[in-house]
Amino acid sequence: MLKSLVVRIAACCHAAIRSCKCSRHLRKGKPVRINIVLSLVMALACGAASALSLSIPKTLIDKAVQAKFPREKLSIRLDNPVTKFGKDSQKIELCGNWASKLPSRAGDFCINFHPLWNKAKGDIEISKVQLLKLSTGEGSEVPKAIEVLLNNTVLTLLDGISAYHVPDLVGKHIEAIEVQESSFKLLF
């Protein structure tokens, strides 16, 4: 798909050059040379399009995540998000603070999830959410049995939720996504 887009752009450039009034002198004796140059440019662009990738820096993603916080639902507030990318596991870790109004409690949390590319929708979705840590303000962690219960019930409800919708102009051409140590790689 991206190759056809590049070919169309190159064809439009070629048509614009051929119809340009300032290129009249080019049409007289050198149209073959221009056609050869444009053909080479189109061939190189098509070859590069199949291996094209775009890296989104972690700092840009962190700013977008921080803009969505603090979040509050059912009297529980989540704040101070910090992300960590795992290239080997292809997961993103999200840690922060939580606070409850009733009863008045606070603590830290950490979850990780696998970002999943949904090409049909053009969305980056949350998948395989797992609670890594949930502690109270006194420094004690929630018992392992409750952690397992949350991982097996509540957190499975988050699977498939769209984390980000990529604009259609770009999103329809993305084939896959990869988590890097300091960036998010979009593969076209």
Average pLDDT, the chain: 76
Q: Is the pTM of this model over 0.85?
A: no
Cα distances (Å, whole numbers) of residue 94 to 113, 130, 144, 179: 8, 10, 19, 14
Mean pLDDT confidence for 177-181: 91
> Where do the structural domains in the chain lie, given as residue ranges?
2-51, 55-187
User: Residue 95: pLDDT band by 50, 70, 90 thresholds?
Assistant: very high
Residue of higher predicted confidence among 51 and 181: 181
The position carrying tokens 């988590």 is 179
Q: What is the CATH number of domain 55-187?
A: 3.15.10.40
Q: At what angle do helices 31-49 and 2-19 cross, to 10 degrees?
A: 160
